[in-house]
């Protein structure tokens, strides 16, 4: 074999051995939001009590931002809100990624994907965004967040991260954890889920974003 062909073959082997698939390039196969109850999840309406209504949601319960334009900024006088479709905001920085949104105590939201063929793990970072208030925006200066992020493969939990933040305000987004999740052999589906606890002191909005999330084949 000629040296040039040997080099090309080696490059192809390396590329195949470490193939990556961006989560933002994939389309969810399912999405759901609802309320956590003692006898199981109740999909559909988000219960925010009698005082608030018309909370709204992302279209089809999806917020997937592939790229944030370099010149993107909010209109003068406005602060970041979870419903904004063009970007996520963490510590005042606008970023891309895949979102999860639990918008009330005991509420949940999940997205499900087909696992790319040959994927062995998922890497990336998990952030909580700058809007901890959601539908109670302007109600108080600080609030609390308590919830749970989980990853499931074919219905079995393969990763979890507790979220508990006290006395947080607008613009307080931060990294939750670096992700390095092993994917079981032969798993077909992966689900990313957030749920808020029933803790009543705040806990009205948890928006998470999976940033730079990729499936890696080794």
Give the three-class secondary structure for 192. Answer: strand
Rounded Cα distance, 82 and 207, in Å: 7
Are residues 179 and 209 in contact, defined by beta-carbon separation less than 8 angstroms? no
Going by C-beta distance under 8 Å and a sequence separation of 6 or more, which residues neighbour residue 112?
28, 29, 30, 31, 189, 190, 191, 192
CATH 1.10.8.100 given to domain 20-216: no
Global confidence as pTM: 0.88
The pLDDT, as a whole number, for residue 53 is 43
Average of per-residue pLDDT across 64-89: 94
pLDDT at 162 over 50: yes
Question: What confidence tier does 4 reach under pLDDT thresholds 50, 70, 90?
Answer: low
Local structure of residue 67 (DSSP, 8 states)? -
Work out the angle at residue 44's Cα, subtended by the Cα atoms of residues 169 and 113, and round it to the nearest 5 degrees: 80
Task: Collect all residues with Cβ–Cβ distance below 8 Å to 104 and sequence separation of at least 6.
Answer: 35, 46, 47, 48, 55, 134, 135, 196, 204, 205
- Tell me what percent of the residues of the chain surpass a pLDDT of 70: 85
Cα separation of 148 and 146, whole Å?
Answer: 7
Q: What's residue 56's pLDDT?
A: 67
> Hey, which bits of 60-200 come out as E strands?
64-65, 88-90, 93-95, 97-102, 107-114, 121-128, 143-153, 156-168, 174-182, 189-196
Q: State residue 1's pLDDT score.
A: 55
């Amino acid at each position: 074999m000629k040296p040039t062909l040997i080099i090309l073959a080696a490059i192809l082997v390396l590329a195949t051995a470490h193939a990556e698939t961006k989560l933002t390039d994939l389309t969810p196969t399912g999405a759901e939001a609802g309320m956590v109850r003692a006898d199981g999840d109740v999909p559909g309406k988000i219960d925010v009590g009698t005082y608030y209504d018309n909370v709204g949601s992302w279209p089809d319960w999806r917020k997937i931002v592939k790229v944030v334009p370099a010149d993107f900024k909010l209109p003068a006088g406005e602060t970041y809100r979870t419903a904004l479709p063009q970007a996520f905001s963490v510590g005042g920085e606008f970023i891309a990624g895949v979102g999860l949104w639990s918008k009330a105590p005991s509420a949940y939201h999940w997205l499900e994907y087909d696992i790319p063929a040959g994927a062995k793990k998922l890497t990336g970072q998990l952030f909580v965004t700058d809007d901890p208030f959601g539908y109670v925006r302007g109600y108080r200066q600080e609030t609390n967040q308590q919830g749970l992020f989980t990853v499931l493969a074919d219905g079995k939990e393969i990763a979890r991260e507790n979220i508990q933040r006290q006395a947080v305000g607008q613009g307080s987004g931060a990294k939750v954890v670096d992700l390095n999740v092993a994917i079981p052999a032969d798993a077909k589906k992966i689900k990313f889920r957030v749920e808020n606890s029933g803790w009543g002191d705040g806990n009205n909005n948890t928006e998470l974003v999976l940033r730079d999330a990729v499936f890696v084949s080794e």
